[in-house]
Amino acid sequence: AQSVAQPEDQVNVAEGNPLTVKCTYSVSGNPYLFWYVQYPNRGLQFLLKYITGDNLVKGSYGFEAEFNKSQTSFHLKKPSALVSDSALYFCAVRGFTGNQFYFGTGTSLTVIP
């Protein structure tokens, strides 16, 4: 079975501090991994994805994610958090076969001024 897990429902970080939102995955074969963000009263927006190659992926709004095959993780990071980063973040995976994408349960990020 293919799935992702987001172990933290809520992450709080002070403005200007680095942030990490965690994601682990379970998939057969090589995974395609994604991060999406959902701002209040807005739809889900694509942030970044990992397909292959460099384990550090850079995306929108200064976010990056690190793919770690041995730990089956794909944590989202940002060196310096902004208050405007406060939102709901979803990790997603697509297996090597099939057309389905599997989303995590989401992590609510709050950046404290």
- Under the binding rule (CB under 8 A), the answer on residue 46 touching another protein is yes
- Under the binding rule (CB under 8 A), the answer on residue 99 touching another protein is yes
DSSP 8-state assignment for residue 112: E
Residues 31 and 93: beta-carbon distance below 8 Å: yes
Residues 91 and 73: beta-carbon distance below 8 Å: no
Strand, helix or coil for residue 106: coil
Nearest-approach distance from CB 99 to another protein, in angstroms = 5
- Under the binding rule (CB under 8 A), the answer on residue 100 touching another protein is yes
Q: Which stretch binds another protein (CB under 8 A): 11-19, 21-29, 65-73, 104-112?
A: 104-112
Token code pair at residue 64? 């990056």
Q: Which stretch binds another protein (CB under 8 A): 16-24, 38-46, 61-69, 70-78?
A: 38-46
- Under the binding rule (CB under 8 A), the answer on residue 60 touching another protein is no
**Beta partners for residue 48, in sequence order:** 35
Nearest-approach distance from CB 82 to another protein, in angstroms = 22
**How many CA within 13 A on the CB side of residue 28?**
3
- Under the binding rule (CB under 8 A), the answer on residue 44 touching another protein is yes
